[in-house]
Amino acid sequence: MTKKRWFQFFIFFICLFTLIFLISLTHFIFTPVLQLIGAVALPIIGAGILYYLTRPLMNFLVKHKVPRILSIIIVFLVLIGAVALFVLFIWPIARDQFERLMEAIPGMIKMVEGWIAYWQDNIALVPDQVINAINNFANDIPGHIENVLNNIFGFLGTFIGQLVSIIAGIILIPFFLFFMLKDGEKLVPFILQFFSKKKADNLHDLLSKIDRVLSAFIQGQLLVSFAVGILLLIGYLIIGLEYAVVLALFGMLMNVIPFLGPYIAVIPALLVGGFQDPMNLIWVSIIMFVAQQVESTFISPNVMGQALNLHPLTVITAILAAGSIAGFFGILFAIPIYAVIRTIVIHFYQTFVNSRKDKDDALI
């Protein structure tokens, strides 16, 4: 019985749940470790994202005989130049449009109140069920606003309490990035030296797969989001949509979230466009549809390729589950984490199948 695969899986899961139970009983031992990981998570994640974005440029320079240190300096200059261009040319426009949007919100609320008043004046033309639903929603609006404000202020209180650690983490990002670019290629050989040649080769193959998955997702998703943001900006400017830069930047940021991001990104544009001109509801929908078609047909296949190859239903499930567990950051990192775990599971399963096949061949 011990050689049966189902029995081996059964024992594996018993051991796994036993380990989880023991960890839950001794959580006080792991709390300081988790706090330490949390303290360095921001600079490591931030530097890791920038590392995958800038590594192709550094490798290109090194390949063309540019010294590695000089290549890293050029990479930093490119990053500083990109930030400077954003601050000098895009940020003032976006800030001005955002301020005007905030000033226009009270007028939009008054417009909605006018619609409600008109609706109530013509109440005889509306079924009772619809009237009751609208009245209930209108009566609940103050409560909803209060809850939203409480959540916002609660978030701000937590955010202000962690502001020092966030600033320190941001300051450390360039230092982590420098050493990642300088010594990143030495990490894998350092790890592999502790294993036998056969296990080292297998682990090297696994780490290479994980590296390709992370590279494809980070580079691909950010480049795709940038391209979608540009397409949205062009479309919004063509139809004369107000606050086009702010709405395009919001769309660019939301497109970082796979699959669900575009649907979140279009909501503010639809609201602003609807208040400006009801026809804009159609135009904004068309622009988002065209941008997503261009992205899914031409950009994503060429940028990401088939490195992730995730089904949309899997993406939605992973995002919703991660969001319920870890909030916004769970939504943001759900897909790369899932892709890495999936890569590890597939790799070890293939290794297991190949080892069983080799044993069968040896017996024959």
53 is in which domain, residue-wise?
Answer: 27-105+150-194
Query: In the listed set 164, 194, 224, which residue is the last one of a domain according to the structure?
Result: 194
Is residue 320 within 8 Å of residue 311, measured between CB atoms? no
pLDDT number for residue 54: 92
Q: Report if residue 124 sits inside a domain.
A: no
Mean of pLDDT over the chain = 78
Q: Report if residue 41 sits inside a domain.
A: yes
Is the pLDDT confidence value at 16 over 60?
yes
Q: Report if residue 255 sits inside a domain.
A: yes
Q: How many domains does the chain divide into?
A: 2
Of 41-45, 112-116, 345-349, 359-363, least confident by mean pLDDT is: 359-363
Q: Report if residue 233 sits inside a domain.
A: yes
Mean pLDDT, to the nearest integer, of 265-280?
Answer: 86
Q: Where are the alpha helices (DSSP H) in the chain?
A: 5-25, 27-63, 68-85, 91-121, 128-161, 163-192, 197-239, 244-254, 261-276, 280-294, 300-303, 312-363
**Among residues 292, 240, 241, which one has the least CA distance to residue 270?**
241
Count of positions (residues) in the chain: 364
Identify the three-state secondary structure at position 65.
coil
User: Within this chain, do residues 166 and 90 fall inside the same structural domain, yes or no?
Assistant: yes
User: Within this chain, do residues 272 and 292 fall inside the same structural domain, yes or no?
Assistant: yes
Between 287 and 39, the higher pLDDT residue: 287
Q: Distance between CA atoms of 16 and 77, rounded to whole angstroms?
A: 48
Per-residue pLDDT of 196-246, as tens digits, reads: 888 888 888 888 888 888 888 888 888 888 888 899 999 999 999 889 999
pLDDT number for residue 309: 66
Per-residue pLDDT of 58-109, as tens digits, reads: 999 999 989 999 999 999 999 999 999 999 989 999 899 888 888 887 777 7
Q: Report if residue 308 sits inside a domain.
A: yes
pLDDT number for residue 139: 60
* Residue 207, Cβ density class (10 Å: 0-12 exposed, 13-18 middle, ≥19 buried): middle
User: Within this chain, do residues 54 and 75 fall inside the same structural domain, yes or no?
Assistant: yes
pTM assigned to the model: 0.74
Q: Report if residue 66 sits inside a domain.
A: yes
User: Within this chain, do residues 178 and 283 fall inside the same structural domain, yes or no?
Assistant: no
Q: Report if residue 11 sits inside a domain.
A: no
Per-residue pLDDT of 311-332, as tens digits, reads: 667 777 777 777 777 776 777 7
Between 72 and 309, the higher pLDDT residue: 72
